[in-house]
Structure formats: C-alpha cells, structure tokens
Amino acid sequence: MNFMTKLRKAWASSNSLLCVGLDPDPSKFPGMLRDKPRAILDFNKAIIDATHDLVCAYKPQIAYFASQAAEDQLLETIDYLRSQYPHIPIILDAKRGDIGSTADQYAAEAFARYQADAVTVNPYLGSDSITPFTRYAEKGVVILCRTSNAGAQDLQDLQIDGKPLFLHLASKVTKEWNGNQNCLLVVGATWPEQMRQVRDVVGEMPLLVPGIGAQGGDVQALVKAGKTTEGTGLIISSSRAVLYADSGKHFAQAARQVAKATQDEINLYR
C-alpha cells in the first residue's frame, strides 16, 4: 500500500486529522523512566499505545533520537508501529536537503533503513535535491513550504513577480515535482491566511500542519483554511502538548486525554 492510500484509509478509520509528533526529550520524562536504558523506546510505546486510535499518523523527529545516540530506539519505535499498528502512516521528520549522491543516501536512510512511509525534506536546493526522494513512488515526500516559525517570513515571504516565494514553491511542486503524486507540503498552523493561499494553488494535495498546541496555532482557523472539499487533506501535528501533558506515572493517560480533546476540536470544524 502506498503512502497516499494508507493516509486516506487512516483518515477514514480513525475519523481523525491528528498526527502525534514523537519528540522524546528524556529531561521531560516521568522520573520512573529517566534512568532506564531504553527510556525513549518505553516512553514512545506508552504514548503510541495510549493514542493509536485517535491519530492519522505518527511523526518521529530524528533529531531527538540522534542527539541521545538513540537511533536504535528510533528503529525500534518504527518497528513497533509497523508490527502493532501497521495501518498508521509513519512520517520521519528529518528535513533533509542535499544534492546528488548525498540526497540518494538520505532517501535510502528514510525509506530503506528506517522504513518510514514518508519523510520531510527541504527544497532550498531545488528539484535535483527532491528527485531522489520522489522517485520512491510508493512513499510520501513532505516538502517544506510555509513553516510555522516566526523567521519563516525572512525568506518564504519574499516577493517574486508580485507573489511570495512560498506560493511559487507550491505551484512548482504541484505542476513539476509531483509526477508520482506522492508530494505533500508543510504549512504551519500559525499562518491560516497563507494556508488558504496554498490550498488554492495545490488543490487536494495533503498538507502537514505543525504549530498547534505549544506553538499556539488556531485550530478553527487552520481547519477552515486548509481542509479539502471532503473535510480531509490535513495532517495536523501536535507534539509537546500531547507528550508532556503530565510528568507523573499517568503520563500516557494524560497524553490520551489531550489527544482526544485535540481530535474532537479539529473534527468540530471539518
């Protein structure tokens, strides 16, 4: 099953546009986990087991594993998802961006080594930095477009021929880079007006939407701006607000409560 089919099935089966970002920070773990040798894996498994029926995807962020020399626990987290919840898409948040043989290796890292269903990439180097990923036709390629951080405007809003750069990018991805129909765009929840503009350009293309929860994105505004005619088209990611809802022994139950409340809020505006 290719990524796009898997995503559509997950939207339907879970009745959810929520994605939980797996950003494991051991300094924020409950005390009973912090000194365990496989703390990251144990934490992730508890979060996954508590929220799996509420999400359309999981998004492990590779930096949180690499900084702890825990790439093996990233592999094990992905293996756990693939074995226990094989219907849920896995988006590796790596934001890779390079050219030539190096891009080939990054694509192999995401899709062969980690067996992710999709990966985030940075398009700044142009089409030849994206092709090594999009040639994996069954996989999703999630391209940064209008990100949620305040500094996004430094470059992404630059006007070129009367139109901001992020809209030029959205058009190029739609018309030139999406030959295998496996591209998605990242558009931050903190910019609903820009999201509306992107949706007008890309049609039904799915959007990965970070920036709710800890970053304060307006759920009602983003859903109305970004949803498709079918009421889907969005993968709305929340990480810290879900993962660290409670720092005690009931952290997983608290994570479920926040995930459920977020799912319900999103569905209210679909």
Distance in angstroms (rounded) separating the CA atoms of residues 31 and 248? 7
Q: Has 95 been annotated as catalytic?
A: yes
**Residue 263's closest CA among 43, 6, 52?**
52
Measured in residues, the chain has a length of 270
What is d(CA 96, CA 107) in angstroms, rounded to the nearest whole number? 9
Q: How far apart are CA 104 and CA 222, in angstroms?
A: 34
Return d(Cα 200, Cα 170) in angstroms, integer: 10
Question: Distance between CA 190 and CA 149 in Å, rounded?
Answer: 8
Active site residue: 9, 28, 45, 95, which one? 95
Q: Is 212 helix (H, G, I), strand (E, B) or coil?
A: coil
- The catalytic residue positions are 95
